[in-house]
Amino acid sequence: MLRESKYRAPPSAGRPVELPGHFAGLVRLGRETVALTTDTVGTKVLLAEQLGAWEEVGEDIVGVNVNDLAAVGARPSAIVDTILCDRPRPDVFRAIGRGLGRGLRAARCSLLGGETAVVPDVVKGIDLGATALGYFPSGRRPVSGQGIRPGDVVLGVPSNGFHANGYTLIRKILSESRVDLRTPRPGRPVTVGQELLAPTRVYTVAVDAVAGDPGVQGLAHLSGGGVRNLVRLHAKAEFVLDHWPRVPGLFRWLQGLGAVADAEMFQTFNMGIGFALVVRPNRAAAVLQKLARAGARDARAIGHVEAGSGVSVPEFGVRYEGYS
Amino acid sequence: MLRESKYRAPPSAGRPVELPGHFAGLVRLGRETVALTTDTVGTKVLLAEQLGAWEEVGEDIVGVNVNDLAAVGARPSAIVDTILCDRPRPDVFRAIGRGLGRGLRAARCSLLGGETAVVPDVVKGIDLGATALGYFPSGRRPVSGQGIRPGDVVLGVPSNGFHANGYTLIRKILSESRVDLRTPRPGRPVTVGQELLAPTRVYTVAVDAVAGDPGVQGLAHLSGGGVRNLVRLHAKAEFVLDHWPRVPGLFRWLQGLGAVADAEMFQTFNMGIGFALVVRPNRAAAVLQKLARAGARDARAIGHVEAGSGVSVPEFGVRYEGYS
C-alpha cells in the first residue's frame, strides 16, 4: 500500500472502516460492509516453472487472498485474478485454471473476472495474483483483535506445508544444497518438489463457522511474518505460544539444510500452524467443536495471552517484540 | 479471466450478477450490488522508466480501473494496488503514490490497501496494477446495454491522449522511427515524452451524474480495443459513429510515423474519445447538460444506433463486426 496517498474520499464513495493491523481493507457501502485483500503467490511460481506443475499455485491464488479475509472475520464472496506472462501458454493457463477452480471450491467463492496480460518486457515467466472480496453476513461484526485480554486462549489450525511464503529463502537453500526436487526426502512417498508445491490450506469455511461467536476476539493468518502476525492484533497483549505442536518434518529438514536459526524460521514460515484464533477461555471448547464440524478437526490450543507485548514460542526460545 | 473455472459458489457467498460484455464483475452481497474490475497499466511503465517519470502512470492505475466501473454504471468506492518490482526504489514509489493520490481525488475513491512485492526473479523494472471496487447507489441499476435500440444517440467524452493502451505498438513505432522523446513535435510546447505520458482521464464523476438517468442505455470505456468496445454492449445494434471529432494531432502524428492503417488505429487506440454513452434521443440534451455540470463540458454526440451489428466510423471507412 502506498501510504503517501492520504486522500479521503467523500462519504458518497462509502466509508472506509479502520481496522489497524490487518491485511484486509474494509469499507461500508450502503447497508453492507465489504472487505478487500490483494496478494500474489510470490516466487513460488518459480518452483512451479521448474517442476512444470501449475495447478497447485493456481489453487494458492485463492488461498493467499481469502485467508486474509478470514483474518477479519469476513466471508469470501469473489475473486478476480491477474496473470502476467511473457508469452501465451494455453496448457499452463488451463492448469492454473483447474487449480484456481479447486481453490474457489474450497473457499466457496466465485470467480468474478480477471486479467491475463502478455507483457514480455515486464515479466519473466508468469506472475500470479488476485484480489478477493468478502463481506460480513447479517449481524456479524469485523473481528479486530482489540478485545483480546490476558487469559484468552490461542487456538491454531495446522498448515499444509509452506503455503506461498518464504520461497525466496527456500529456493536459495535448495539451490545451495543442490537438492534434487524430483527425489523424495528419506522415507517419504512423494518427491520434495511435490511437498514444496502443496497448495495453501483454505481456512475460510472453518473460520466462517466461528467468526460470529462472541468468544472469538482475534484472528490471524500466519503467512509472511509467521507468528509475528499475531503481534498486529493487539499492542498490549503478549501471545505466549507454549503448546506449539511438533514442527512438521519438511520444515525441520529445510532448517537443517540451511542451518537456519529458530528465530528466523518462526518469522519466515508458518512452522506447521497457518491460522490462529484468540478466544475467551470459556468459549474455547465450543469454538474447537464448531471448527471441527466445519472441517478443521485438527485445530488445537497452542498458547494463551498474558499482559505484556509481543509473541513468544518458549520451547524454541523465540521471542519477537513488534511486527517487523 | 480463467474461464475453465466453472465452479458456482453457494448463495451464502453472494449472487454473481450476469452482465455479458463488460470488464467489471458484479455480485449481490446482502442488500447491495458491488462491482470489481482489475487491470494493469501495461507496458506504459516502460515509457515511465525511460523518462524517469512515474506520477502519471501512478495516476493511470486508478483511471484504467475505475473507468471500467463507470462502464457498468457503478460508482467507484475503493482501490487496492499492486506494485511488483525488481528492487526497492523509494523515490519511484513516492512518485507513484503521488500520482495514485491524484487519481483517487479525480475518481473520489479511497485507497483501501495494497501489496508491494520485490520479486527480481519475476519482474523486470516495475509492474503496476490494481483492483477497483464500486457499488450502485440506492435505486440505481447496472447499465447493461441490453436496452439499446435503433435511433439511440451515441455521446462521446474526449480522452487525454493514449491513456494506458497500445503502448507496445507505440513503443515499437517510436523505436523504429528513432524519435527523441525529450523533444517536442513541431510547434508543440511540451515534449513527445510528456504527451505520451499524459494520464488516463477519469470519467467516473461525470458518468456517475448520468448513470441513473432513465435515458442512459449503454456505457463503454474505449480502452484496449478502441471503438470495438461498443460492440460488446449489444449484439443486434450497429453503432454508426458518423460524427467522430477531429482526431488529435498526437494520434495522427503516430499514425504517420508508423504508416498504420485507420482500421488498426481505431481498434488499438481511443482516437480522441475515451468514453461513450448510448442514450435515448429525447434524453440526449439533458444528459449532455448533466455531463457538463459534472465536469465533462466537452462531451458531444458522435453517432447513432441503427438496426444491424458491429461498429463503423464512416468518415474513415472503418467497420468492425465483432469485439476481437
A308-321 pLDDT per residue, tens: 999 999 999 999 99
- For the residues B246-263, what does the mean pLDDT come to? 97
- Nearest-angstrom CA–CA distance, A13 and B106: 12
Residue A324: per-residue pLDDT: 61
Residue A82: per-residue pLDDT: 95
Cell 523515490 belongs to which residue? B91
Percent of chain B with pLDDT over 90: 93
pLDDT in tens, B46-87: 999 999 999 999 999 999 999 999 999 999 999 999 999 999
What number does CATH give the domain A153-320?
3.90.650.10
Q: Complex ipTM, two decimals?
A: 0.91
Q: Do B80 and A37 touch (CB under 8 A)?
A: yes
Q: Do B137 and A12 touch (CB under 8 A)?
A: yes
- Nearest-angstrom CA–CA distance, A311 and A323: 9
Q: Do residues A250 and A237 make contact, with C-beta atoms less than 8 angstroms apart?
A: no
Chain A interface disruption, residue of B3, B4, B126, most A CBs within 10 A: B4
Q: Do A2 and B97 touch (CB under 8 A)?
A: yes
b/e code A71-90 from CB counts within 10 Å (16+ = b):
bbbbbbbbbbbbbbbbeebe
Q: Do B100 and A30 touch (CB under 8 A)?
A: no
**What pTM was estimated for this model as a whole?**
0.94
Class of domain A13-135: alpha beta
- Nearest-angstrom CA–CA distance, B98 and A289: 49
pLDDT in tens, B118-137: 999 999 999 999 999 999 99
Residue A18: per-residue pLDDT: 87
Q: Say which of A45, A104, A116 has its CB closest to residue B9.
A: A104
Q: Do residues A279 and A155 make contact, with C-beta atoms less than 8 angstroms apart?
A: yes
Name the band, by pLDDT with cuts 50, 70 and 90, for residue B1. Answer: very low
> What is the residue-averaged pLDDT of chain B?
95
| Distance between A127 CA and the closest CA of chain B, angstroms | 7
Q: Do B133 and A27 touch (CB under 8 A)?
A: yes
* Chain A residues touching residue B32 (CB < 8 angstroms): 29-32
| Distance between B31 CA and the closest CA of chain A, angstroms | 7
Is the fold of A13-135 the same as that of A153-320? no
| Chain centre distance of CA A152 | 22
* Chain B residues touching residue A139 (CB < 8 angstroms): none
Q: Do A4 and B40 touch (CB under 8 A)?
A: no
Residue A268: per-residue pLDDT: 97
* Chain B residues touching residue A39 (CB < 8 angstroms): 115
Q: Do B129 and A115 touch (CB under 8 A)?
A: yes
Q: Do residues A72 and A145 make contact, with C-beta atoms less than 8 angstroms apart?
A: no
- Nearest-angstrom CA–CA distance, B246 and B233: 25
Name the band, by pLDDT with cuts 50, 70 and 90, for residue B300. Answer: very high
**Domains of chain B by residue range:** 13-135, 153-320
Q: Do residues B104 and B110 make contact, with C-beta atoms less than 8 angstroms apart?
A: yes
Per-residue pLDDT of chain A (324 residues; tens, 9 = 90+): 444 457 889 999 999 998 888 889 999 999 999 999 999 999 999 999 999 999 999 999 999 999 999 999 999 999 999 999 999 999 999 999 999 999 999 999 999 999 999 999 999 999 999 999 999 999 999 999 999 999 999 999 999 999 999 999 999 999 999 999 999 998 999 999 999 999 999 999 999 999 999 999 999 999 999 999 999 999 999 999 999 999 999 999 999 999 999 999 999 999 999 999 999 999 999 999 999 999 999 999 999 999 999 999 999 999 999 776
Q: Do residues B193 and B311 make contact, with C-beta atoms less than 8 angstroms apart?
A: no
The C-alpha cell at A155 is 487456538
Total residue length of chain A: 324
Residue B5: per-residue pLDDT: 59
* Chain A residues touching residue B96 (CB < 8 angstroms): 2
Name the band, by pLDDT with cuts 50, 70 and 90, for residue B2. Answer: very low
Q: Say which of A34, A40, A96 has its CB closest to residue B115.
A: A40
Residue B112: per-residue pLDDT: 94
Residue B324: per-residue pLDDT: 61
Residue A219: per-residue pLDDT: 98
CB pairs under 8 A between A and B: 267
pLDDT in tens, B27-56: 999 999 999 999 999 999 999 999 999 999
The set of residues, in sequence order, having a beta carbon less than 8 Å from that of B82 and lying 6+ positions away, is A38, A40, A82, A129, B114, B115, B116, B117, B127, B128, B129, B130, B131
pLDDT in tens, B146-191: 999 999 999 999 999 999 999 999 999 999 999 999 999 989 999 9
Paired residues of A240 in beta bridges? A304, A312
Q: Do B137 and A98 touch (CB under 8 A)?
A: no
pLDDT in tens, B280-292: 999 999 999 999 9
| Distance between B267 CA and the closest CA of chain A, angstroms | 17
